Amino acid sequence: MINARMARRALILIALIGLTGGIAVKFVAWPELAQWLWAAGAIPVVVSLAISIVSDLRAGRMGVDAVALLAMVAALALGEALAAIVVAVMYAGGAVLEDYAVGRAERDLRSLIDRAPRTAHRKTGESFEDIAIEEVAVGDTILVRAGEVVPVDGQIASPSASLDESAVTGEPIPVTRFAGEAARSGAINAGETFEMRASATAGESTYAGIVKMVSSAQTAKAPFIRMADRFALILLPVTLVVAGAAWFFSGDPIRALAVLVAATPCPLILAAPVAFIAGAAQAARRGILIKGGGPLEALARVYTVMFDKTGTLTVGGARLVAVEAAPGEEPDDLLRLVGSLEQASHHVVAAAIVSASVAKGLKLQIPEDVRETMGSGLEGVVEGRVVRAGSHQLVCGGSQMDSWAARALRRASWRSALSVFVSIDGRAAGALLLADELRPEAPRAIRALRAAGVARIVMVTGDRADSAETIGAALDLDAVLADRVPADKVEAVELEQRLHPTVMVGDGINDAPALAAADVGIAMGARGASASSEAADVVILVDQIDRVSDAVVIARRTRAIALQSIFAGMALSGVAMGAAAFGWLTPVAGALTQEAIDIAVILNALRALSPGGAQRRASMAESDALGLRQDHDRLNASLDRLRQIADALDDMDANSAVAYLAEANRIVAEEIVEHERADESYVYPQLLNLLSDSSGLFAMSRAHREILHMARLLGRLVDGLGPNDADRFLIRDGQRIIESIESLVRIHNAQEQDIYENAGSERIAEKR
């Protein structure tokens, strides 16, 4: 690549010297010497171009540069050396301009490779030594200084580390990782120096996988570019016919030469590759790596998108969804004790419980005398109490199931959740329900795909039908295919392919065969290189499913720009050929006209570097959008408590029910109602100035009124309520109101979050 570019620069330099030298000597009345200088400057370009065309012919390709070669050879044969050197300068200059345009477009992709670390600081005894990154072994302790790139994948050994993962994930805000958490290669240390323990070699690390994908994206040639070659094959015979006709009817071979010069096919040579590489670079900025031009063109024609469920449409891991406490137990105390115990386990469920405990701000203790029964549960001493967590059989033995335990199992069943029962000092105390959750951005991603022109969206998963149908209904998918093993997924993809161009999106090893089988396989690769990333044609480096629609929009816009450039270039060249045939353009003027066309085509193709030409709208300040999201996060804790109260009212005595209803009323009045009123009086007026369509806010205001109405109903029910008034019917009414408020506020918050994301986004809407 470097040698070829240097050769093209040498050719343009020789041609320019020949052109300027010839002009200079012509002014001092040495016309013959001028002709020789112009010819000498053109001949190296002619020879280089002839060699290139012969090489293409041997490889079974018809070089589209044949018209330029014919133009220069004819000009030299007819004694029009000036025309020959002008064509040579224009052609060689176009090649250099292409190098510049391609280099600019490749910059975002190449930066990933250029910034890859070359050395690492390995701990040896009490000191550190600099070693080549290839020498890092699993288990080595590595020092990462402030501002340095994390060299390999590993776990944080220091108490904490602040990492800028934007180059890997596309997210601009640094994240804090604590001891034991993963540090991915390619991230930048945005804080103080920290130590980490290598968990992979350089070649097996996240960044190495990304670099391989980038390299393949840079070197692949698209079928779309070959389509441009086919357009050029039409131009060659047309040019020869027009040039021959001009010569025949005028009797002047110079007119034929002018036609050949005006028809130099630079627009076709440059338009498609420049647009493709520019589109790939634009995708890279969004955290999307496209492995070549074939996937880019196929993505532009997609009709059906198929999604895996776990880890793709859902977060892909166990999440705490409910704490079912036994009568007399406090849910937070139960979670704190279990979270403390689970710190001693490496099980994925244990990690989820610990994370949920930390997220709620619970202070965990170090457990003692921990014993783990593989596949069944965990037992240990926390704060002097014997805590046991695991299956119902381990915790409760063969005793008769309590009503609360039966209720917990029933709720776990309809939520498709895993239940972890807990006992304290031998007494059953509650159960934790854990399940996979829908990604928050998934509904927005599905809407964006439909807006981008995708006609059919299908989910294909190995999960149970009831769980899959729940997700499918929530996202309004066109079809749900459940209980599918990898071979079944491939069969489903191939069936869709027979009807329409199909994209498959997945993240796991079991998705790799389906990703490879699809017209375009898209892997959610933010969690590191895997078999799915290797099999996929496109890798999403950001852990956000809405980037799939971004990839489709970018691909369609890139293809449209390339087609525009090709057709516009051919049309302009046709006009110039006609003018030359009628004698209105001399060979030199034709060459200059063609160069102007070339520049216009390249500039148009470079439009694919930008996200679009729509007007940029005002956006919410990042700090304001972040504050609104944090308000919702804080409100979620109150909603969790309302859910716990509603669940507990199932079998509660009158005295306890009155206290719980009063607590629910306080939460609703002091936290939820105040939050909704603040939204209505402060946030929504601000959003009116930012949204292109404010009609959605009026519907959201209607939800506010419904929430306030339900809050008034709860307040009336609780006002003056005593134990003597709390019969089972009144308790049931209160429970229903609380459940309605909790569900309505969660849905309302999710809708608001979509609006906040839209108002706070820095994207520019793409022109279709």
Among 167-176, 179-188, 510-519, 746-755, the least confident range: 167-176
- Would the pLDDT of 175 be above 50? yes
Q: What are phi and psi of 81, to 5 degrees?
A: -65, -35
- Percent share of the chain, pLDDT over 70: 80
pLDDT digits (tens, 9 = 90+) for 368-410: 888 876 546 788 999 889 998 887 777 777 667 787 888 888 7
- Percent share of the chain, pLDDT over 90: 11
Q: What interhelical angle do 81-114 and 66-77 show, nearest 10?
A: 150
- Would the pLDDT of 121 be above 90? yes
Whether the CB-CB separation of 436 and 315 falls below 8 Å is answered with yes
**Helix extents (H) in 503-546:** 512-517, 531-535
How many Cα atoms sit within 13 Å of 745 on the Cβ side?
33
Identify the pLDDT of residue 105: 46
Identify the pLDDT of residue 242: 87
- Would the pLDDT of 281 be above 90? no
Residue type, 516: A
Identify the pLDDT of residue 170: 44
Name the maximum alpha-carbon separation found in the chain.
120
Binned at pLDDT 50, 70 and 90, residue 454 comes out as: very high
What's the distance, Cα to Cα, between the start and end of the chain in Å? 35
Contacts of 273 (CB under 8 A, 6+ apart): 98, 102, 225
- Would the pLDDT of 231 be above 80? no
Strand partners, 538: 290, 522
Q: What are phi and psi of 289, to 5 degrees?
A: -105, 120
Cα–chain-centroid distance for residue 39? 53
The two structure tokens encoding residue 9? 């620069």
Question: Residue 567: which of 235, 291, 287 has the closest Cα?
Answer: 235
Identify the pLDDT of residue 469: 82
d(CA 93, CA 47): 16
Most confident of 315-319, 572-576, 608-612: 572-576
pLDDT digits (tens, 9 = 90+) for 661-679: 999 999 999 999 888 888 8
Identify the pLDDT of residue 254: 85
Residue written as token pair 């066109």: 478
d(CA 388, CA 422): 6
- Would the pLDDT of 341 be above 60? yes
Binned at pLDDT 50, 70 and 90, residue 63 comes out as: low
- Would the pLDDT of 531 be above 60? no
Residue type, 388: R
- Would the pLDDT of 56 be above 60? yes
d(CA 717, CA 731): 10
d(CA 449, CA 443): 10
Identify the pLDDT of residue 226: 52
Binned at pLDDT 50, 70 and 90, residue 177 comes out as: confident
Helix, strand, coil % in the chain, rounded to nearest 5: 60, 15, 25
pLDDT digits (tens, 9 = 90+) for 680-705: 887 777 776 666 555 556 667 778 88
Q: What is the pTM of this model?
A: 0.65
Identify the pLDDT of residue 495: 93
Most confident of 120-124, 163-167, 434-438: 120-124
Binned at pLDDT 50, 70 and 90, residue 195 comes out as: very high
Identify the pLDDT of residue 617: 46
Identify the pLDDT of residue 500: 92
Q: Is 147 left (phi over 0), alpha (psi -120 to 50) or beta?
A: left
- Would the pLDDT of 1 be above 50? no
Contacts of 463 (CB under 8 A, 6+ apart): 309, 310, 482, 483
d(CA 89, CA 83): 10
pLDDT digits (tens, 9 = 90+) for 579-615: 888 888 887 787 778 778 877 887 887 888 777 644 4
Find the helix or strand (DSSP H, E) in which 163 lies: strand 160-164
Among 33-47, 589-603, 713-727, the least confident range: 589-603
Binned at pLDDT 50, 70 and 90, residue 346 comes out as: confident
**Average pLDDT along the chain:** 79
Identify the pLDDT of residue 197: 93
Whether the CB-CB separation of 318 and 435 falls below 8 Å is answered with yes
Mean pLDDT of 183-189: 84
Instruction: Give catalytic residue positions.
Output: 308
- Would the pLDDT of 104 be above 60? no
Among 25-39, 139-153, 333-347, the least confident range: 25-39
d(CA 71, CA 591): 10
Among 342-356, 621-635, 712-726, the least confident range: 621-635
Identify the pLDDT of residue 115: 60
The two structure tokens encoding residue 620? 């919410």
Identify the pLDDT of residue 765: 34
Whether the CB-CB separation of 410 and 404 falls below 8 Å is answered with no
Strand partners, 520: 503
d(CA 75, CA 254): 8
Judge residue 542's burial from the number of C-beta atoms within 10 Å of its C-beta, 0-12 exposed, 13-18 middle, 19 or more buried. Answer: buried
d(CA 397, CA 399): 6
